[in-house]
Amino acid sequence: MYPGNADTACDQYHKYKEDVQLMAKMGLDAYRFSISWSRLIPDGRGTVNPKGLQYYNNLINELISQGIQAHVTLVHWDLPQALEDEYEGWISRRIVKDFTAYADVCFREFGDRVKYWTTVNEGNVFAIGGYDVGFLPPQRCSPSSAQSLIYNCSGGNSSSEPYLVAHHMLLAHASASNLYRKKYQDRQHGFIGFNILTFGFFPLTNSSEDISAAKRAQDFYLGWYLSPFTFGEYPDTMKKNVGSRLPLFSKSESNLVKSSIDYLGINYYFSFYVKDSPDSLQINDRDYTADVGVELQPVFGNSTSTDEFPIVPWALHGLLDSLRNTYGNIPIYIHENGQQTHRNSSLEDWSRVKSMHDYIGSIPDTLRNGVNVRGYFVWSFLDVFELLGGYESSYGLHYIDLNDPTFRRQPKLSAVWYSNFLNGRTMDPMITMEIQKKNPSVVLSTAVSNNPLLQKVQFKATSSS
């Protein structure tokens, strides 16, 4: 029986030293984790929690002692409840000041050791899931919407709030980025970025309508953030379809947001074929989803399990090429890529090995095409509490026995494969399986793959913390 909440989850809070040792043995050279605003500054502003500060210092110091670089995300969808109660959090422009002050604390306390700062994780999904559809915290959507009946929304307006939230995230990011560059970057020599969940969008047919619809989907889901970062403005398609519900940047705000990222973090799991759906644009009281005016159909690979994501490296290639061609050759870190399985699956997680093998094996082609990929993170290092799947869904390279009071970590086949790859031994999944069968406790060193193109890319793991 799994616990019903995430109060303990994988318990990295107490087991961080053991986990960092596992990372070092695997050969990881970096680890991405999130700082919880609520843990560090429980009231959202003001007094810093000394235990929270000590924990993150301990984790970062342990990573550094093992030669592992810390990549830190400042917001992974959680928010101090006091700010939600006071002014409804990201709906209010007041969040910009409070977020900047929180970021300032993090830069000041940890920036001497942290060189990579991602302000927000999956900003696009947070705005849609939390304020249009309502399946993510704070579960807001229009009371009259079908989503409200499903997710029992706490209130909200799906027609306007997603756009407000995204606008305030962009302004908060730009404010924190400006602070970092003026106050810290010269002496800390770090970089600041933003993360979105990405999809490849491909027209369902060769019709001009579907081709335009695929471009529109990219504008709404990705250009929503990347156009302001690149050009200082929202995409023209969004201005046309959303109209007065889309907030405007002042000239000074546009200049602040534009070029405020040193790198882009992308999470990638699946892609879509896009079909034009103009009827939704005739609805008077439209929400974000209706504004896009498309139907999305998943791009399927060879997976036969409903628990697993299709493995389609060509779709990731198409996405990366499109990002470069549309927004310039921004340095990109693939912050999340992984395979979902059911938690009760065998430790021989063959589908995860195949996913990693195919996606990582395709990166040299991406680099040859000139895409500026700097790093790759597997989601996730451990089986964690997934916000949507709880303990039923598994992404981890290591299994956590929740019924064991010590929360024992057990490496899966994917952990062995990844370490073999990092240490330049083999990328052949069948050989990896034989190695594990013959020697499950194989000792792992710290080299990188022998492929000269892959040596340009850092390979890592990520999880919430």
pLDDT of residue 448: 30
pLDDT of residue 152: 87
What average pLDDT does this structure show over 141-155? 86
DSSP 258-293: TT--SEEEEEE---EEEEE-GGGGG-SS--HHHHH-
Cis peptide before 42 (omega within 30 of 0): no
Is the pLDDT confidence value at 85 over 60? yes
What average pLDDT does this structure show over 430-448? 40
Q: Quickly count: other Cβ atoms within 10 Å of residue 84's Cβ.
A: 18
What average pLDDT does this structure show over 435-458? 42
- CA 377 – CA 458 distance, rounded (Å): 8
Buried b (16+ CB within 10 A) or exposed e, 353-368: bbbbbbbbeebbebbe
Closest alpha carbon to 385 in 464, 268, 269: 464
3-state DSSP assignment of residue 201: strand
Give Cα separations from 211 to 62, 217, 248, 424 (angstroms). 50, 10, 28, 42
Mean pLDDT of the chain: 89
- CA 177 – CA 117 distance, rounded (Å): 9
What average pLDDT does this structure show over 418-429? 79
Question: Residues 237, 241, 245, CA angle at the centre, nearest 5°?
Answer: 115
Contact 354, 429 (CB under 8 A): yes
pLDDT of residue 424: 81
What average pLDDT does this structure show over 272-287? 94
Mean pLDDT is lowest, of 29-38, 146-155, 201-210, for: 146-155
pLDDT of residue 307: 73
What average pLDDT does this structure show over 93-122? 98
pLDDT of residue 443: 28
Closest alpha carbon to 350 in 400, 386, 302: 302
What average pLDDT does this structure show over 160-164? 98
Contact 344, 401 (CB under 8 A): no
3-state DSSP assignment of residue 376: strand
- Alpha-helical (H) ranges within 137-258 are 146-151, 161-183, 185-188, 208-218, 224-231, 236-242, 251-257
pLDDT of residue 445: 25
- CA 358 – CA 337 distance, rounded (Å): 11
Give bridge partners of residue 193 from the DSSP assignment.
118, 263
Is the pLDDT confidence value at 237 over 70? yes
Cis peptide before 380 (omega within 30 of 0): yes
Q: Quickly count: other Cβ atoms within 10 Å of residue 374's Cβ.
A: 16
Mean pLDDT is lowest, of 63-67, 308-312, 367-371, 440-444, for: 440-444
pLDDT of residue 218: 98
**What percentage of the chain reaches a pLDDT higher than 70?**
86
Mean pLDDT is lowest, of 125-134, 155-164, 253-262, 343-352, for: 343-352
Is the pLDDT confidence value at 441 over 80? no
Higher pLDDT, 258 or 341: 258
- Just list the catalytic residues: 122, 336
Domain ranges of the chain: 12-462
What average pLDDT does this structure show over 193-205? 98
Of the candidate CATH numbers 3.20.20.80, 3.40.1160.10, 3.30.479.30, 3.40.1520.20, the domain formed by 12-462 belongs to 3.20.20.80
What average pLDDT does this structure show over 90-110? 98
- CA 281 – CA 278 distance, rounded (Å): 6
pLDDT of residue 140: 96
- CA 127 – CA 164 distance, rounded (Å): 9
Closest alpha carbon to 284 in 134, 159, 104, 446: 159
Q: Quickly count: other Cβ atoms within 10 Å of residue 143's Cβ.
A: 13
Is the pLDDT confidence value at 444 over 50? no
| Three-state helix/strand/coil letters over 293-349 | CEEEEECCCCCCCCCCCCCCHHHHHHHHHHHHHHHCCCCEEEEECCCCEECCCCCCC
Contact 353, 417 (CB under 8 A): yes
- CA 114 – CA 110 distance, rounded (Å): 6
Q: For strands 263-268 and 272-276, give the pairing.
A: unpaired
Sign of CA dihedral 320, 326, 329, 335: negative
What average pLDDT does this structure show over 110-125? 98
pLDDT of residue 193: 98
Mean pLDDT is lowest, of 41-45, 112-116, 359-363, 451-455, for: 451-455
Per-residue pLDDT tens digits for 45-65: 999 999 999 999 999 999 999
Is the pLDDT confidence value at 451 over 50? no
What average pLDDT does this structure show over 262-277? 97
Per-residue pLDDT tens digits for 283-341: 988 999 999 999 999 998 665 556 789 999 999 999 999 999 999 999 999 999 999 98
Is the pLDDT confidence value at 83 over 60? yes
Mean pLDDT is lowest, of 62-66, 80-84, 437-441, for: 437-441
